[in-house]
Amino acid sequence: MGEQLPFANGSRSSKLPLFVIGICCLLLILWLKLPGILLATIIAVATFSVMRMRTSTPEVSSLRTSIRLSSEDITDVQNEWQQFLNSPDADALADRTMARPALADPDCGDAAIEKFHYEISNANRFLGRLEARLHQNLLVSELETLLKVTDERALELRETWLDARKAALKLGPNYKRGA
């Protein structure tokens, strides 16, 4: 899964057009004096308006919302995991001590449980980077890629969580630690 794909080198939107527009406005001011100031102001306001509209279109807002919803699916699994590990509730305590103690053991040798521990640690790092990434000005194509990656991660984490729970239940309370 292209883990680094949506995070490579920040946003691909170039600052060159803004630089060129700034130089042109400066040349207008130097060449035309007062009319140049008025024209440069109009150009600058129009440029910033267009830039602001580009990042606040309904499509961009919708994609950002979808990404946040997908990330909530990851957070739901994280919460279920924390509930399993730390809850003083009688059902959770019985689940982690009597039914599925292997699931709480990070050194358990079962492949499904190992995969879950790997995926949950990756999910923690991914969510940390995701929020920072969403605060950048991203193109629609970048947001679409980020949504795809977030959906894939949420699905993979949910599947590994369920597989690990089944494997731990199969191992039962008398599994050999580290085996």
Question: How confident is the model over 11-36, as pLDDT tens digits?
Answer: 445 688 889 999 999 999 999 999 99
Judge whether residue 7 has pLDDT over 90: no
Both tokens assigned to 122: 């990756």
Question: How confident is the model over 70-102, as pLDDT tens digits?
Answer: 999 999 999 999 999 999 999 989 988 889 999
**Amino acid, res. 120:** I
User: How high is the pLDDT of residue 97?
Assistant: 87
Domains in the chain: boundaries: 12-55, 57-174
Ordered alpha helix ranges (H), the chain: 16-32, 34-55, 58-86, 90-94, 111-134, 140-171
The percent of residues in the chain predicted with pLDDT above 90, rounded, is 58
CB 68 within 8 A of CB 151: no
